Amino acid sequence: MAGSAGTSNGFQQAVRQVKEHRQGKSEAMQEAKKEQDGRRETNMQVIWAPWRMGYVSQERKGGCFLCRKAAETEDEENLILARWEKCFALLNTFPYNNGHLLIAPYRHVGEYEELEEAEVLGIGEGLKRVLRAEKAVLRPDGFNVGLNLGEAAGAGAPEHLHVHVVPRWSADTNFMPVLAATKVIPQHLEETWKALRQALAR
């Protein structure tokens, strides 16, 4: 009986030790999770582009802004950098980064698969040219190039597709823009327009 009782007590003690070990491990994991969550909360990065409030708050003109700018002749006022046979390039009036530009077909079309072959080739050739010009003028370390197709994807003009070209520098921030209270666009739009327009004309 004594031996049996001793064995039982030893077993119960082992069970308690296992439970305590598990509880301690669980508490340690919870503390680690809290610490990690705290770091995440502290390091939360918000896309912050205060100068784009002009875009958000501006009075919208009727119609498509790309069609309107393509039809007008005031290229400097509209920041149009180049006109080609099937498409044109222009600076974004409210850029996410210095040199942020758009390439769009003249034709009012919102779906990429609806582009004509000549338009696809024209946009591709235009992209090559603007990348070459941006590298020569702004000397970025890389680019974000892409399309936002549809309102759900963030397209500002979903009915008229356009390619975004955003120069990037190693010292700047995560995808497209600004993760701080202030973002400096070091060059005025007009100066950027003149420099890139000249480079594209060569």
Residue pointed to by tokens 């502290």:
42
Amino acid at 148: N
pLDDT value for 134: 98
Q: What is the bridge-based pairing of β-strands 163-168 and 101-105?
A: antiparallel
Q: H or E segment at 53? A: helix 53-57
Cα angle 119, 138, 198 (rounded to 5 degrees) comes to 60
pLDDT at 184: 55
How far, in whole angstroms, is CA 122 from its chain's centroid? 24
pLDDT on residue 118: 98
pLDDT at site 96:
86
Active site positions, annotated: 162
**How confident is the model at residue 8, as a pLDDT?**
57
Instruction: Tell me how far apart the alpha carbons of residues 74 and 71 are, in angstroms, rounded to a whole number.
Output: 9
> What pLDDT does residue 56 have?
47
Selection from 82, 109, 75, 79 nearest residue 92 by Cα: 79
User: How distant, in Å, are the alpha carbons of 7, 35, 97 from that of 164?
Assistant: 75, 39, 11
pLDDT lower than 70: segments of the chain: 1-62, 173-187
pTM score, whole prediction: 0.67
